[in-house]
Structure 1
Amino acid sequence: MEVLKKINIVRFEDGNQVPKEDIVILESRVNFYLNGEKIISTMCIPQDEDAHMVGFLLSEGVIDGVGDITSLEVRNSGLEVWMEARSNQKNLINLYKEKTLVSGCGGGITGNTGNQIEIEFNASDLRIEGGWILEHVKRFYQESELYLQTGCVHKAMLLFANGEFLESEDIGRHNAIDKVCGKARLKEKDPNEGILIVSGRLSSEMVTKAVMHRIPIVVSRTAPTFLGVKTAQMHGITLCGFARGKNMNIYTHPSRILF
């Protein structure tokens, strides 16, 4: 589906009104169906819809892996995704409720009160040279096609030590992460072996996505929140913010970044 639309606008330019043609992003409601039942509607860019559903259900603990999926189909011109899969019924029922993530190695809490999901502490031995990461952060922003055209999207990239990468863009920060993680799983690549680079701030919800997808290193050009830092610390995530030029702040578990 075409995700860019041209519209006519009036631009205020040096004190004058100037007719212009502009490009804006298409925002659509995409419905997810699991085992014949509609489970959620999400406002997003209608692309990578199958990966989006896979990443979302993994991040919510509704499915444990792509091995649980028996069929996956995008329908209705990209506005519906239908999946048949073995699912965790408890987490499916609690999909819309507040949750607490409990570290399997020390009892850390990273969310609101409510239903608990136990997550093993991320003990990944991944080690990456800091300058190499910063070079990819620079490229990450230079090559964001939809952002350069519209100024209206977020981007997420999974970068692997061999230089391979996957990326996704969406109007929602969370959607972009779900999409790129879903892509990785569908391509049989393990997010636990990668670095997540994101365009948005590192709030607790963003870091929680990394916790659920077992991603050991998360990097952004912008800032973390205090709860984002706390979430990363308790669950073994190396959290890097303000990654710009030759510098970045490492807030948690710095041993994964080589100097």
Structure 2
Amino acid sequence: MDLPSPFGATTAMQHRSDGGVTISRDLPEEMAVAMVYDGTTHAVMMATPADIEDFAAGFSLTEGIVAGIDQIASCDVIAHPKGIEAQMWLAEDRGAALAARRRTLAGPVGCGLCGIDSIEAAMRSLPEVADRGPMLTDGEIASAVLSLRDWQPLHDRTRAVHAAGFMLPGQGVVLAREDVGRHNALDKLIGAMAWQGIDPAQGAIVLTSRVSTEMVQKCVMAGCSVLIAVSAPTLHALRLAQDAGLTLAAFARGEGFELFCHPQRLRAKVPHVA
């Protein structure tokens, strides 16, 4: 069975001051996607039915289920009438790690932590990102989200999905993924980078969303040292970024940005940020 289209056409009555008119509208699809490891369902996410192998790999990496893409022995995407399974078989030594991190979730697309069964699991400690990393100009950071616009065909059709992109110094955005869930888009991006052998430490992750706790967690787990977003971070997300050594820039909208922590990866001279 083939995967469904990531969008579909419908009609709506558009109401305006001069009357109403029937219009055609493309809307994004969302389906249940089950992450299945060694024959056991570990998590169920509502996601856009596209780039599922990337999603499976990125989720596995950012959740600490695998430490590297080579620990996923195989990944098969199986479509069912009511959902999709990403069936993965892991290297033998990952069984204990999977048991320690087991979670079952079926949450809304806006939540990347729904269903975690303990506070400790939700607020897990993070490694520090490597002190090395990209050196970016203030112009590159300010224009990052605008650069991502060229990589958002599903958003152009539906105006209802988030994107996560990867930007390299001097090159702009070189890879991106979209999804109805912002954390799903990020997992898809990280998975695509892993399959393609792209080192996250060499560039910056760019988001079309706010910066919540799980977005910082996923970036740090992927090994990326710079996160740029169009909207604000939460206070807890900022504390995590500070502790992990992650450079966090937000409100990046073309004309400028706000740098919240770890300014050492910015080429331009800026006032000191703790």
Which bin holds the TM-score, normalised by the shorter protein? Answer: 0.7 to 0.9
Q: Please say if residues 62 and 92 of structure 1, whose CA atoms lie closer than 8 Å, have aligned partners that are also in contact.
A: no
1:196 aligns with 2:205: yes
Candidates 30, 39, 43, aligned match of 1:36: 39
Instruction: For residue 124 of structure 1, report the CA deviation from its aligned partner.
Output: 2.3
Q: Say yes or no: does 1:230 pair with 2:230.
A: no
Give yes or no for contact 1:122–1:235 (8 Å, CA) kept in 2.
no
8 Å CA contact retained: 1:25, 1:152: yes
Q: Which residue of the partner structure matches residue 133 of structure 1?
A: 141
Q: Distance in 2 between matches of 1:56 and 1:143?
A: 21
Aligned counterpart for 2:196 among listed residues 178, 187, 191: 187
Q: State whether structure 2 residue 17 is matched by structure 1 residue 8.
A: no
- Distance between the aligned counterparts of 1:236 and 1:50, measured in 2? 29
Residue 211 (structure 1) aligned with residue 211 (structure 2): no
- CA 1:136–1:90: 2 relative to 1, 3 Å: closer
Report the structure, 1 or 2, having the larger strand content.
Answer: 1
* Equivalent position SS for 1:232: helix
User: 1:118 Cα deviation (Å)?
Assistant: 5.3
CA–CA separation in structure 1 for the residues paired with 2:37 and 2:204: 29
Cross-structure match for 1:84: 89
Question: How many correspondences in the alignment?
Answer: 247
Query: Using the alignment, how far apart are the partners of 2:85 and 2:72 within structure 1?
Result: 17
Structure 2 unmatched ranges of 5 or more: 104-116, 269-274
Alignment partner of 2:261: what SS?
Answer: coil
Partner of 2:114: none
The answer (yes or no) to whether the contact 1:155–1:167 under 8 Å persists in 2 is: yes
Match of 1:166 among 169, 175, 188: 175
Q: 1:189 to 1:46 in 2, by over 3 A?
A: same
Say if 1:38 and 1:134 are closer, same or farther in 2 by CA, change over 3 A: same
Asked if 2 retains the 8 angstrom alpha-carbon contact of 1:74 and 1:80, the reply is yes
1:26 paired to 2:32 = no
Name the stretch that deviates more: 36-45 or 229-238.
Answer: 36-45
Q: C-alpha deviations, 1:161-205, integer Å up to 9, x for none?
A: 352611000000100000000000001111122200001101122
Q: Aligned equivalents of 1:196 and 1:41: distance in 2?
A: 25
Counterparts of 1:98-137 in structure 2, within 5 Å, are 98=118, 100=120, 112=123, 116-117=124-125, 119-137=127-145
Amino acid at match of 1:7: T
Distance 1:185 1:193, change over 3 A: same
For the aligned residue pairs, the C-alpha RMSD in angstroms reads 2.0
Consecutive unaligned residues of structure 1, counting only runs of 5 or more, are 102-110
Question: Which of 61, 65, 70 does residue 62 from structure 1 map onto?
Answer: 65
| Range with greater deviation from structure 2 (161-170 or 2-11) | 161-170
SS in structure 2 at match of 1:201: coil
Q: What CA distance in whole angstroms lies between the structure 2 residues aligned with 1:29 and 1:6?
A: 20
**Residue identity in the other structure for 2:247:** T
